[in-house]
Chains A and B, each alone.
Chain A
Amino acid sequence: MATLNVLILVCLGYVVLLFGVAFAADRMAAAGRGAWLRSPLIYTLSLSIYCTAWTFYGAVGNAARSGLEFVTIYLGPTLVMLSWWWGLRKLVRVGRSQRVTSIADLISSRYGKSNTLAICVTILAVLGGTPYIALQLQSITLSFSIFAEADPSGLYREGSSVFWVAAGLAMFAILFGTRNLDANERHHGVVTAIALESVVKLFALIAVGIFVVWGVAGGIGPMMERIDASEIGQWNVDAGRWTTFIFLSAAAFICLPRMFQVMVVENADEGHLRTAAWAFPLYLLLMSLFVVPIAVVGLDLLPEGSNPDLFVLTVPLSQGNDWLAMLSFIGGFSSATSMVIVTAMALSTMVSNHLVMPIWLSTQEGSGSVSGDVRNVVLVARRVSIAVIMAMGYYYYRLSGGGAALASIGLVAFAGISQILPALVGGLFWRGATRTGALVGLTVGFVLWIYTLLLPGMGGAIMPDTVLQNGPFGWGWLRPQALFGIEGMDPMVHTVMWSLSLNTFAFCAASLLSFPSPLERLQGAQFVNVFDHSVAPRGWSGSVAQSEDLMIMTQRILGAGPAQEFFQAEAHAQGGRTSLPEPTPGFLERLERELSGSVGAATAHAMIGQIVGGSSVSVEDLLAVADESAQMLEYSSQLEAKSAELSRTARQLREANTKLTQISEQKDSFLSQVSHELRTPMTSIRAFSEIMRDSDGLTPEEQTRYAAIIHDEALRLTRLLDDLLDLSVLESGRVNLNMSGESLSAVLDRAVSSALAGSRSTLTVRRARQSERIPLHTDLDRLGQVFINLISNAQKYCDAEDPVLTISAHDVGGQVVIDFTDNGSGIPPEAQSMVFEKFARVGGDKAGGAGLGLAICREIMQRLGGEITYLPGQGGAAFRVRLPMAYQQAAQ
């Protein structure tokens, strides 16, 4: 019949089948076919790795011991699934948007990508997973032993079989779980294989249940009667354990690394949760439907003292139904294998990403130029960690003696892993949760769990009985199973109550008292408000990153092909022609996510940080950025000032240029005027001198006349040259003033007499002599020159019948004002502004002046600290001379 050899063959055949399914599913997914691989049904079935060998065998054992209490382990997850709308949906969304690879990665990512936290969660998960793996070993070993009893060859030995089961499962997990590297890429193969296994175990359990109800008990009615008549036939549940276990299983359902793996990491579509919300509770219901009947029938049929944990196997065997027993064995085996595969995958990812890689990276000095192939390092790390985890499970089994009931070991693991719950829930819903809070809470819960549950459970070798009885050092209030002197509690309830409540308290208190780093706050906002903005935080500034180094590093992690593909696509998206993209923040962010799929968020962050130089957003960076922008502001304001100054200077230069151009034009016109003025007398001088030289028959009168003309013209030239010289001396400022004092009337007397001397004109000069008694101290000769000029102008230009020049003088506030007004027609308005310019002559050349007189007057008056202006509207031409009574040096 079912000998041990057949059993081993069946196991191997089953494993080969699983490999085949996984391989085919991977092929289909790669070929793009098989949309059903990503269907909600597969997702729901993969969630059922929650039901391990413990629930397959242990639930019946639990029911046989304490009635309906077993159902709590299924009710907790049911409640969690029912609250998917505000719980799991958020978790899955966060996991997908942050490309989280494990629960340690999630916690680390939430609290500022802290690797310390990731290490803590990893250690907790490994330690919590160890009893669980021991549980799988125990269940498989026990089921083997059942068949071994029936095997006549008697070759079976328990000790060695545990070892071989552990080694086989390790091999299996290594082959299955570490085939492809990117943990974030969905493992279609593994997930499909798990889905198949969940169908197998459900089918096996239901088959046994149907056999028990209809084959043994004879229908539902008799079965119910049998249940009520059995020794567990009354409702007898401890309220503390009932609520605690429901809560505990709900917490573990979220926090268990393998559950996180299938629920969040392997999730392909958020919408699958909608189906899983009712389908998974249904699966759990079906799994637990026949547990009590099997337990009751087992208690009835089997002899006293047989292990209730194995009723699922022993009941069909005792009825001679070997094939059903074989099916049931495969169900248990598949529960154990699926749990071990996924747990090993999840734990090894955590260990390699958060323990091995950071250590390995820190030993590799120097930036991106890491030697060796990181891919290999990661793979080896994962394989070794799977082996180590399985070895730990094996030793836990040996240490605990394998005697304890399956359910209690499972609950120990649940209580351990649930310590993550406060940090997880706090991180998802409370922005104020900080890294310090999470660390402190985890540590408190973890230590309490080890002290009150794990160590006492491992037997006297690790924790002596005296400590258990009297507390360490005789401190009674620290007894592991009666903290603070509260006795009489169930050990499980005691641990869960104290560890989780103190964990939560420490988490909240430390969070309230500590201050998060900027990255933590950023991540906190991203997690809590994930539905508002499902994007990763930005932070890399790629200014110093070298694409080539990044490429080399990425090749080592993702492999040459995928890395080149990724870079090519990025370069293409950036529109570049080379195969290397620019290290823009967006590109670095995507690269980090891509890498975090393989090595975890914190490690990927650190690796890119090593190459890019400078971490993401640190306070220092922010300050530097702030400084920089302040400097930019200052610089730009400086630039602005400079540019204003420049434009001012440019304007001044333009003005100067205009002035220069004007002056140059003036000079040109002055020169042309001068040459014109010089040419006229010169022409007549030449002409008359030529006549006198060439003509012989000139009368003496004619000679005299011609000589007089030449003389007059020469005089005119001399006068012109004198005037020009005078003007240039005055304009250049090199004039010497001979200061002396006299009264104004004396100066005017001299000027009038010299101006009118030898003239034939009839100009009458009217003066008010009493007002002219003003003492002056100035250059009297020059002032006289001005007066003479003005008087002779009146004499020349006044066109009245009886020309009259009125000279009046006033003393106005320390200044002498002398007006020269004639009764002529005056100067026309359009010429008024021009009279003081050089060579400006009004009314033609009749007076024979060069037009320099008034220009010279103006220059002289400026030198003397006064001015000369034309007074319009006085009836005739009127000039006003204004000068200080005493010449002041300052005026120069």
Chain B
Amino acid sequence: MSESEDRKPQRARPSLFLERQSYRRRRLMDAARLLPILGAALIALPLLWPNQTSPEDGVPLSSAMLYIFACWVLLIAVSLVFGFAARRMSARDDSEAESDRWLP
């Protein structure tokens, strides 16, 4: 990068902001990193539910099951989307990713 800068000082100055595409990809990676945290939060949520003290109050197991499995499906779906997006991006611009690392 610095080489090209030396050669063409008038136009090779990197822009402060990323291209829209690269920006999207960065945020997608952020999302992928945050996903397990979201998952942990969702899974820990049932701990706030009241435990069974009498047969009448408390959360029925079927609802609990529905909640847990719904979260699970959601996480899988997000991961699936991310997997495909990452594959498409890495296939599209493998070379770009290299130079991209240097940008601010």
Contact = CB atoms under 8 A, between A and B. Distances in A.
A342 interface: no
Interface string B35-58: 110011001101101011001001
Nearest to B50: A235
Contact of B55 (A234, A239, A274): A234
Contacts of A230: 61
A232 B75 CA distance: 26
Nearest to B63: A235
B69 A285 contact: yes
A18 B83 CA distance: 32
A670 B29 CA distance: 99
Contacts of B59: 234-235
Interface stretch (A82-90, A163-171, A175-183, A251-259): A82-90
Interface string B61-92: 11111001100110111011011001100100
Contact of A237 (B40, B46, B55, B77): B46
Nearest to A230: B61
B75 to A, nearest CB: 6
A242 interface: yes
B58 A281 contact: no
B33 interface: yes
Contacts of B104: none
A86 B86 CA distance: 14
A211 B77 CA distance: 27
Contacts of A81: 79
Interface in A236-270: 236-237, 239, 242-243, 246
A225 B60 CA distance: 10
B69 A82 contact: no
Contacts of B83: 274-275, 277-278
A357 interface: no
Contacts of B75: 78, 82, 281
A225 B80 CA distance: 32
B29 A68 contact: no
Given A71-B68, A78-B39, A83-B36, A233 B61 contact: yes
Contacts of A239: 47
A75 B45 CA distance: 13
B79 A277 contact: yes
B87 A274 contact: yes
Interface in A195-238: 224-225, 227-228, 230, 232-237
B85 to A, nearest CB: 10
Contacts of A485: none
A622 interface: no
B51 A82 contact: no
B49 A235 contact: yes
B87 A271 contact: yes
Contacts of A78: 39, 72, 75
B46 A83 contact: no
B61 A227 contact: yes
A278 B79 contact: yes
A232 B61 contact: yes
B60 A85 contact: no
A611 to B, nearest CB: 40
Contact of B64 (A235, A274, A281, A289): A235
B19 to A, nearest CB: 22
A220 B36 CA distance: 30
A67 interface: yes
Contact of B60 (A234, A246, A271, A281): A234
Contact of B61 (A228, A271, A285): A228
B61 A67 contact: yes
B69 A289 contact: yes
B76 A281 contact: yes
Nearest to A293: B65
A282 B47 contact: no
Interface in B8-42: 29, 32-33, 35-36, 39-40
A79 interface: yes
B65 A68 contact: yes
Most A Cβ at <10 Å: residue of B55, B64, B82: B64
A292 interface: yes
A85 B61 contact: no
Contacts of B64: 67-68, 235
A292 B72 contact: no
B46 to A, nearest CB: 7
Nearest to B56: A234
B68 A278 contact: no
A235 B61 contact: yes
B57 to A, nearest CB: 9
A155 to B, nearest CB: 42
B51 A237 contact: yes
Contact of A236 (B51, B72, B76): B51
Given A83-B36, A224-B62, A68 B68 contact: yes
B60 A82 contact: no
A79 B32 contact: no
B61 A68 contact: yes
Nearest to B75: A82
Contacts of A237: 46-47, 51
Contacts of A80: 36
Contact of B72 (A228, A235, A243, A285): A285
B35 A281 contact: no
Nearest to B67: A235
A334 to B, nearest CB: 24
Nearest to A532: B101
A81 B75 CA distance: 11
Contact of A281 (B61, B72, B82, B90): B72
B40 A79 contact: yes
A71 B71 CA distance: 13
Contact of B43 (A228, A246, A271): A246
Contacts of A82: 35-36, 39, 75, 79
B61 A234 contact: yes
A85 B32 contact: yes
Contacts of B46: 235, 237, 242
Nearest to A225: B62
Given A85-B33, A278-B80, A236 B58 contact: yes
A224 B59 CA distance: 13
Interface string A368-386: 0000000000000000000
A601 B82 CA distance: 36
B44 A243 contact: yes
Contacts of A233: 60-62
B32 A235 contact: no
A86 B76 CA distance: 17
25 contacts: A67-B61, A81-B79, A82-B35, A82-B36, A82-B75, A83-B36, A85-B33, A227-B61, A228-B60, A230-B61, A233-B61, A234-B58, A234-B59, A234-B60, A235-B51, A235-B60, A235-B63, A237-B46, A237-B47, A242-B46, A278-B79, A281-B72, A281-B76, A285-B72, A292-B61
Given A68-B68, A234-B58, A285-B72, 18 more contacts: A68-B61, A68-B64, A71-B68, A75-B43, A82-B36, A82-B79, A83-B36, A85-B32, A233-B60, A233-B61, A234-B52, A235-B58, A236-B58, A242-B46, A243-B47, A271-B90, A278-B76, A281-B72
Interface of A: 67-68, 71, 75, 78-83, 85-86, 224-225, 227-228, 230, 232-237, 239, 242-243, 246, 271, 274-275, 277-278, 281-282, 285, 289, 292
The 7 closest A-B pairs by CB, nearest first: A83-B36, A234-B52, A235-B59, A278-B79, A278-B80, A224-B62, A236-B52
